[in-house]
Structure 1
Amino acid sequence: MTHPPEPWKLRGDLHLSVWFLRERDWEVPEETSVVRLGPWCVVGTAWVDYRPGSVLTYRELMSTLLVRKGLRLYPTITRIWVDSPRSRDGGRALWGIPKELAEFTVDGPEWTATSIARARVRPGARLPGRWPVAFRVAQTLAGKLKLSRVRSTSGLRFARVDWDAGAPLPFLTAHSPALSLTLTDFDMTFGEARTH
């Protein structure tokens, strides 16, 4: 299965929830360590719809963990599912992102990744303007730390996301997110053009 070269230009909507969860046995990239706020780790989960205008169109569910290298903070993707084999293959080969395949259904506010999780998304108040963000994602690629650049602008809304997670995301059971946001009509660049 072939995949597009980096960088990937992506457009769509992203529904993000932030959680403060007690420490567990996280597997993190070389040279990084888990960010702890007392007994808590910072976890992000997101449903994403990559729409036409993207290098690939697909849906995605992911879980990330906040880690650090020295004083720099990075998200690392711990579990992720997509409904596109090309996205799976590209994520693994280019950035060390451990993408797996899943079936997704979206029915209005209801999102489902079969046998993994489901959620009900209720957007709230919209913040004015478009919001830029830039960061790097930390993964392991070929046994080494890989830091991949992400740049995005989007609209921003507060949201309520009610999660019902199954066995692949057991750490979400019996917890509620501290904050949920919807990034609307994002315009994202993931990765960088290779110069060699």
Structure 2
Amino acid sequence: MPDSAPAPGGPPPPYPPAPWTFRGRLWVALLPVRGRLPVPPDLRPLACASLLAVGLVRYREGTLVYDELAMGPLVRRGRRAGLLIDRIWVDDATSVRGGREIWGLPKRLASFSWTDRSVHVTDHEGPIASLAFTPGRLRLPALPMPLPGFSGPAGRRLFVPGRLVGSPRFERVAVTSWSERLPPLERTTARISLAVRPFRMTVPGPVRC
């Protein structure tokens, strides 16, 4: 289904206003890439510019129910720091429209095929990525965590001060397939990876920065 027309033959789906609240499961991985990731001139790389942050989320309860794959470099602007979300796919047309119009996110439609320990993500252009998870034993107590991100183009940059509460655990994340449309990887295992499952999340409206 073309992501430019989430609802062929009908009006675009309405979307709820911010904040959006959720419960679900989350995986985060830092993958080394070849070379340096491009960063817009109004932002600065945070730490290593050769690490791609990848977030995989299953929103199972809350404002909407959908799956999401997001990625981009870690950046900062002044005292604010977070993920610059320059690629993001979801499997819900309402999330696409709300994400674009509220937060300026470049959301596109995709399908997510899950097993107990893996996911395969595909859009209308073909396969995007496949990830496999190996659960670890170490689990920390539930704690609040910031979940900040940047979106929108330079000149209309937005900051999203998301918040998360959950029990993080260390889990190995490995890439089993990777599209040529994505930044080329230096290796297919994450340098750092963890899961937060379950979580409670709040995504407020963005702040102009």
| TM-score interval (norm. to shorter) | 0.7 to 0.9
**What is the aligned partner in structure 2 of residue 21 from structure 1?**
33
Instruction: Point out the structure with the larger strand share.
Output: 1
1:157 aligns to 2:166 (yes or no): no
Gaps of 5+ in 1: none
Aligned-partner SS, 2:96 = helix
Residue 200 of structure 2: aligned partner? 187
The aligned residue for residue 124 of structure 1 is 136
Mean alpha-carbon deviation: is it higher for 94-103 or for 72-81?
Answer: 72-81
Q: Who is 1:48 aligned against?
A: 57
Q: Which residue of 1 aligns with 2:90?
A: 82
- 1:158 Cα deviation from its structure 2 partner: 0.8
Percent of aligned positions that are identical: 31
1:99 equivalent in structure 2: 107
Q: 2: distance between equivalents of 1:173 and 1:121?
A: 19
What is the Cα-based RMSD across aligned positions, in Å?
2.2
Q: What's 2:16 paired with? A: 4
Residue 62 of structure 1: which of 56, 67, 70 is its match?
70
Structure 1 Cα separation of the partners of residues 79 and 131 of structure 2: 34
Please list the CA deviations of residues 90-148 of structure 1 after superposition, one character each: whole Å capped at 9, or x if unmatched.
11111111111011111111201021011111111232310211243111169511111
Preserved contact between residue 152 and residue 186 of structure 1 (Cα < 8 Å): yes
TM-score (norm 2): 0.82
Q: In the TM superposition, what is the alpha-carbon distance from 1:173 to its structure 2 partner?
A: 6.0
Secondary structure of the residue aligned to 1:89 is helix
Contact 1:120 1:161 in 2 (8 A): yes
Figure out how many residues of one structure are paired with residues of the other and give that number.
190
SS at match of 2:105: coil
Question: 1:7: Cα distance to partner?
Answer: 0.3
Q: Following TM superposition, by how much is the alpha carbon of 1:42 offset from its aligned partner in structure 2, in angstroms? A: 3.2
Judged with a 3 Å threshold, the aligned counterparts in structure 2 of structure 1 residues 170 and 66 are, in CA distance, closer, same or farther, namely closer
Which residue does the alignment assign to 1:169?
182
Partner SS, residue 86 of structure 1: helix
Unaligned regions of 5+ residues in structure 2, if any? 1-12
Q: How far apart are residue 161 of structure 1 and its match?
A: 1.3
Matches of 1:41 and 1:5, distance apart in 2: 35
Taking structure 1 as the reference length, the TM-score comes to 0.87
What is the CA-CA distance between 1:160 and the residue it aligns to? 1.1
Q: 1:17 to 1:80 in 2, by over 3 A?
A: same
1:16 shift after superposition: 1.2
